Structure 1
Amino acid sequence: MARSSPVLTAAALGRALQSARRAAGLTQAQLGARVGLSQARLSALERQPGAFSFEQLLSICSSLGLELSIGPSDAGTTPDSDR
C-alpha cells in the first residue's frame, strides 16, 4: 500500500485523489458512476477541489479505498510547504 502523506491544500487534495483514482485503474466516468457524479463534475473537483461537499469527499474516498485522518501536523509542516 502507498505511504500516506499530509494534504495541506485544496490543490494537494485534488492531486491525491486523481493519483488514487488512476492507481485504482478508474476513469473519471467510472468513479463518477460509483459516487453519483458526472465525469465533468469529477474532473472539476480534481482540478478545483475546494468545491467539494464533505459528503462528496467521503464518498469518493470510500470508493477509492481511502480514509481521512485528522491529527496534529508534523513539526515544520505548514500549508505553504506543499506549494
Structure 2
Amino acid sequence: MEWAFTLEGQSEADTVIVEVPDSATPPSVGEKAVVNGQLSGIFYVKSREFQANLPSKHLGKLTFGWAFTLSPASKS
C-alpha cells in the first residue's frame, strides 16, 4: 500500500509517496505525525482520503492507498 503526503498550501507536485505494509493503520484527521526523511518535522493530519484504482475488467491488479494533507504544528 502507498501513502501520499502533501503539505498544506504546497503543490501536489511536491507530494511524497511512501510504501507501507497493508496492515499499517493510517493516522486520523487531527492526529499528530512526527515525520523524518524527505519531509521532516511535526505535523497534524488536516485531511485524509482513501484512493483506489480499480481495473475495468478484473481485480488482478487492484492498487490502493491513503492521501494525506499535513499542516505544520504551530511553534510556541
- With structure 2 as the length reference, what TM-score do the two structures score? 0.23
Higher helix share goes to which structure?
A: 1
Higher strand share goes to which structure?
A: 2
- With structure 1 as the length reference, what TM-score do the two structures score? 0.22
